[in-house]
Amino acid sequence: METYYNPEDLQKFSTISEGAPELWKKFGEWYGAVFAEGALSEREKALIALAVAHAVQCPYCIDAYTQACLEKGSNKEQMTEAVHVAAAIKGGAALVHGVQMKNAAEKVGL
């Protein structure tokens, strides 16, 4: 069945370089530097990436960073907590906008 998301398409990511190779090269270097060990460990960065992947609902990123988290030594408990952090922020972000709803309702109300 055709679908917009095919797992094998992840392997084609680098074909994005076609047409803008310099930009791809810069992206690759920057991306690599971002995930290198720094003030945060590679494991912490992978967990952040996993949480963000869920927040932006990118199946490629979820696939890649589930694997990356496991390969950095995280376990399912830790990864599930990371996903809950993403869900809490997304849910909280939706809910806190309820204040805007209240403000708008207040403004048009008598």
Partner 1 sequence: MSDVKELCEKTGSAAPVRLKGEIENRFDDALAKAGLHPLTAEGVSVFQVNMGSVCNQACRHCHVSAGPDRVEAMSESVADECLSLIEANRFAVVDITGGAPEMNPSFRRFVSMAAVSGSHVKTRTNLTVLLGEGFEDLPSFLADNKVEIVASLPYYLKEIVDRQRGAGVFERSIEAIKRLNAAGYGVDGSGLELNLVYNPCGAYLPPGQRSIEADFRRELAKRHGVVFTGLFTITNMPVGRFKDFLESSGNLTRYMDRLIGLFNPDAARNVMCRTTVSVGYDGSLYDCDFNQMMGLKCGFGAPDHISRFDVSALGKRRIVTGEHCFGCTAGPGSSCTGAVA
Residue number, 48 or 90, with CB nearest to partner 1 = 48
CB-nearer residue toward partner 1: 75 or 103? 75
- Report, in Å, the least distance between residue 26 CB and partner 1: 22
Q: By rule CB under 8 A, what count of residues binds partner 1?
A: 12
Q: Can you give the three-state secondary structure of 17-35, one letter per residue?
A: HCCCHHHHHHHHHHHHHHH
Q: Which is nearer to partner 1, 23 or 70 (CB)?
A: 70
Residue 20 found at the interface with partner 1 (CB under 8 A): no
DSSP string over the chain: ---S--GGGGGGGGGGGTT-HHHHHHHHHHHHHHHSSSSS-HHHHHHHHHHHHHHTT-HHHHHHHHHHHHHTT--HHHHHHHHHHHHHHHHHHHHHTHHHHHHHHHHH--
Closest to partner 1 by CB, 18 vs 77, is: 77
Binding to partner 1 (CB under 8 A) within 36-95 occurs at: 41-43, 67, 70-73, 75-77
Question: Using CB under 8 A as the criterion, which residues of the chain lie in contact with partner 1 when the complex forms?
Answer: 11, 41-43, 67, 70-73, 75-77
